[in-house]
Amino acid sequence: MSAVIALDRVLKVAIQEIPELGLKADEVSCLFNVPFMCDEKEAIVFVDSLYEKPLRTAEVRERLATVICNCVARHFNLNIEVFVRPFKPDNGFASFRRGT
């Protein structure tokens, strides 16, 4: 298994284990840029579209950033920065789901 696939799985489980987020592993998407998979020296991680909710306080977002930073550090020898960007659907959002 590649390190990126392993990291994807570890991140999803770790995020799921933060109860205040209220997320399941299958509700988390991880996207990796090609340079991240090459011989780079740093990883910049963005957490996007994390809906603002009362339980998702600044402290919880800080814990999320730390958890992600630690997960990446265990899989790659990189300098790491994590940015958590909360999301307000009122600022513009649409979705479409096909029937199952």
CA neighbor of 86 nearest in space, from 45, 31, 57, 49: 49
pLDDT in single tens digits along all 100 residues of the chain:
688 889 999 999 999 999 999 999 999 998 887 555 556 788 889 999 999 999 999 999 999 999 999 999 998 888 999 999 999 988 899 989 898 6
| Total structural domains within the chain | 1
Percent of the chain scored above 70 by pLDDT? 92
Is 76 inside a domain boundary?
yes
Is 100 inside a domain boundary?
no
DSSP of 28-43, one letter per residue? ------HHHHSS-SEE
Q: What domain range includes position 13?
A: 3-89
Quote the tokens at residue 65: 């950033």
Percent of the chain scored above 90 by pLDDT? 63
Quote the tokens at residue 26: 């299958």
Is 64 inside a domain boundary?
yes
Query: With a threshold of 0.75, does the pTM exceed it?
Result: yes
Is 41 inside a domain boundary?
yes
Residues 29 and 77: their CA atoms lie apart, in Å, by: 23
